[in-house]
Amino acid sequence: MQLRELGRSGLQVSPLAFGGNVFGWTVDEAQSFRLLDAWLDAGFNVVDTADVYSRWVPGHVGGESETIIGKWFRQSGKRNRVVLATKVGKPMGDGKAGLSAAYIRAAVDASLTRLKTDHIDLYQSHDDDAGTPLEETLEAFAGLIKAGKVRAIGASNYSAPRLAEALDVSERLGLPRYESLQPLYNLYDRAVFEDALAPLCLERGVGVVNFYALAAGFLTGKYRSAADAGKSARGANTTKTYLNARGLRILAALDAVAATYGATPAQVAIAWQIAQPAVTAPIASATSTAQLDELAKAAMLELDDASIAALEAASREA
């Protein structure tokens, strides 16, 4: 497995990250343990989660994913083989939200307790918090790094102007900077990232760990008609968002390239992202070892220029 440096953090990461949003939601604890073991066995090392996963599930309060990962760390003894990424900032109830210094300090301790570890490798601001000065947020993160609780920090869901401003604040005040960005990016959702964020990340040396690499499963080819909406818990939203003329055009291009390589559409969709100059490690999830095996093959697939051009022509946004 060819590892890549994440920004200027010194963290060496595999070219694909496992999305831990499924742990405790569509995957139970025992299966989560099997998937995490298989992920490491396949040569990958990044696991991405968040304190808020999976608060959206009825009866859940958040922290379910982190808790499962923590139990796996305790049982397996494999913490030192994982680049652990989690996030802070989305609402956790009772006014717990945002990026104030006081909340960050409380939230990181709660995450560390659930994760059963003494440090987080990549601690990310899950959302921009316009109500808290960037200086306050970044100084709080600096304190966590100094205390050894966090190794590097990243940002998620930031606009290009706000990410640039945060990087400038860090440089001006000598504070740790966001070494990574976690944006929405895939073959369907391209314009917002490519227009401004990708050039900024390349210019400033910020790593990119993008989410929805498979567009909520659409780019696997699983959803090709409205009748397919019932194939998963998120199928209705997926078909509503992506099942249109452009989406079908993308699937056709994926099918054609996949046939050339003896691969699947999902593998091609991920290989395309891994080949993008600004991308460090797309995030993808799996609920079975078969799906995980498919992801592993995707990380080894190298697309030629003609295939990349065909995919980009089919997926170009108006």
Q: Give the CA diameter of the chain.
A: 55
Strand order in the sheet with 83-88: 207-208, 178-182, 150-156, 120-125, 83-88, 46-48, 17-19, 283-284
Q: How far is CA 84 from the centre of its chain?
A: 12
Residue 233 has pLDDT above 90, yes or no: no
Mean pLDDT on 218-243 = 88
Give the pLDDT score at 40.
98
Q: Annotated catalytic residue: which of 53, 178, 188, 212?
A: 53
What does 66-131 look like in DSSP terms, one character per residue?
Answer: HHHHHHHHHHH--GGG-EEEEEE-S--STT--S--HHHHHHHHHHHHHHHT-S-EEEEEESS--TT
Q: 55 phi and psi, to 5 degrees?
A: -60, -20
- Enter the pTM of the model: 0.96
CB 183 within 8 A of CB 155: no
CB 208 within 8 A of CB 190: no
CB 207 within 8 A of CB 85: no
Tokens linked to 222: 């699983």
For residue 211, which amino acid is it? F
Tokens linked to 167: 């990087």
Q: Is there a catalytic annotation at residue 53? A: yes
Could you report the per-residue pLDDT of 288-307, keeping only the tens digit for each? Answer: 999 999 999 999 999 999 99
Residue 154 has pLDDT above 90, yes or no: yes
Q: How far is CA 69 from the centre of its chain?
A: 16
Could you report the per-residue pLDDT of 84-102, keeping only the tens digit for each? Answer: 999 999 999 999 999 999 9
Give the pLDDT score at 227.
84
Token pair 């929805």 is at which residue? 212
Give the pLDDT score at 271.
98
> Which three-class secondary structure state does DSSP give residue 184?
strand
For residue 171, name the pLDDT band (cuts at 50, 70, 90): very high
In terms of DSSP H, where are the helices of 186-230?
Answer: 191-192, 198-204
Give the pLDDT score at 187.
98
